[in-house]
Chain A
């Protein structure tokens, strides 16, 4: 497959898979591209001559041949670039500051914080070792990311404070640019920790699922009381304190709130930077079903229309998953590296154990080593490095391969017992939202090219913006 046609709410487009070029098209072109494969002109004319004038078909075919010659359509496949075959260098580390949480979320992949083990807190000593491990592994790379994660990391704020100060000190000593991100449920945010996080340029991922009803249903305290009010109180305070920047509200939708467009738009009461994701699980009542799929796709269409409408009206609403860069997206090597789990990205448990990513924590067969031994399972490094969209059967022929980069390895392992077989349901949702994203950005780009205001989103790789 070399091209992919998209019809989003009647907006028609075609993606040239191997070049990344996108074209907005009309209905006739859309139909022709349903038959035309880059060279079968006669067959295309024969098949569509009853629906369209032959002269019209020929005219369009001539345009399509022109685009093919310019390598903007039917671009051929290419081989794995040499730059990707070099040794991987560490770019990100996820520090499990607290394997404990003060909420009991119904869908928590981390076993409500303990990751299937004991509830534990990372020590200052382990946190320092983790920072040093990350700096050493990053070699000559200037940028380095540290994610402060849990459970709920603010349950161990003393170590958050310590590791942030240590990272900022080491950053100067080693001439690095360390990007810090902290994920929190918001209920423990207070003036003291907010000031510290702001002063130290820590990006925030704030967990919010939508309306109060939706949020409270899945994100209760241990006594089953909902956490919405406490979370939103903290979120509003911290978002306001950083002038509405440097955060993402991040939600999860489940079988219980299939109308998640409503939930997503409700989040605008709290903030404008929003990311909402499907839940993943097995044999649980909240898990999304095949019957849910059409409803979910319709919700993405609704969100896409709202995204476009709000941009035209000047209402701030950044839906992260629709912000796709059509012009200056990542290189092919990056698109193959995908999430980087197990070769460019690791997670460190409170005990100092190393896993391919936070989702793999607690899966013994994926333990890669410890901060004392370093990574011992070099076989796993190689396995993760060389399991990408050009090696996985299901991805090789998928139109979305250079946008999604193969999906989540941990989900693939959870659902299929292998990182070689992607989690198909997740793929379906990923493709739907990518279709929306590509068409939306194509429309906004086209409007700009026609002389209208540039309403495309700013995509800045989660960079902390200093006023």
Chain B
């Protein structure tokens, strides 16, 4: 029981080291004049 520590998600980065890179997700321009989408604001297109 982890009462004082609540884990909210699973580890996701490491498992994509070999499987990722299909490139179907959109670009993520971070300039202040476009959609300014950081990578963190995206999801994987495959899932």
Interface of A toward B, CB cutoff 8 Å: 16, 18-26, 28-29, 60, 63-64, 67, 70-72, 75, 78, 81-84, 86, 89, 91-92, 109-110, 141-143, 145, 147, 149, 179, 181, 183, 205, 248, 250, 252, 275, 277-280, 320-321, 323-335, 338-341, 344-345, 357-359, 402-405, 407-408, 410-411, 430, 434, 437, 441-442, 445-446, 449, 459-462
Contact = CB atoms under 8 A, between A and B. Distances in A.
Contact of B38 (A84, A142, A181, A430): A430
Contact of B5 (A29, A179, A332, A405): A29
B29 A339 contact: yes
Contacts of B33: 109-110, 183, 252, 277, 358-359
A71 B20 contact: no
A320 B37 CA distance: 8
Given A21-B9, A179-B26, A326-B9, A81 B35 contact: no
A324 B14 contact: no
Contacts of B26: 91-92, 143, 145, 179, 461-462
Interface in B12-39: 12-14, 16-21, 23-39
A280 B37 CA distance: 16
A321 B31 CA distance: 13
A110 B12 CA distance: 39
The 5 closest A-B pairs by CB, nearest first: A331-B20, A83-B21, A331-B16, A19-B11, A333-B21
A357 to B, nearest CB: 7
A72 B35 contact: no
Contact of A181 (B2, B5, B35): B35
Contacts of B32: 109, 252, 277-280, 408, 411
Secondary structure at the A interface, as helix, strand, loop or mixed, is mixed
Interface residues of B, number: 42
Contact of A461 (B4, B9, B36, B42): B42
A81 B10 contact: no
A65 to B, nearest CB: 12
B38 to A, nearest CB: 5
Contact of B9 (A20, A75, A83): A20
A267 B22 CA distance: 36
A405 B39 contact: yes
A327 B9 contact: yes
Given A332-B20, A334-B20, A320 B40 contact: no
Contacts of B38: 321, 403-405, 430, 434
B7 A81 contact: no
Contacts of A109: 31-33
Nearest to A408: B30
A405 B12 CA distance: 16
A147 B8 CA distance: 36
A405 B27 CA distance: 12
A446 B10 CA distance: 13
Nearest to A19: B11
A344 B39 CA distance: 14
Contacts of A83: 17-21
Nearest to A333: B21
A141 B11 CA distance: 27
Contacts of B20: 81, 83, 330-334
Given A29-B5, A339-B30, A405-B38, A71 B11 contact: yes
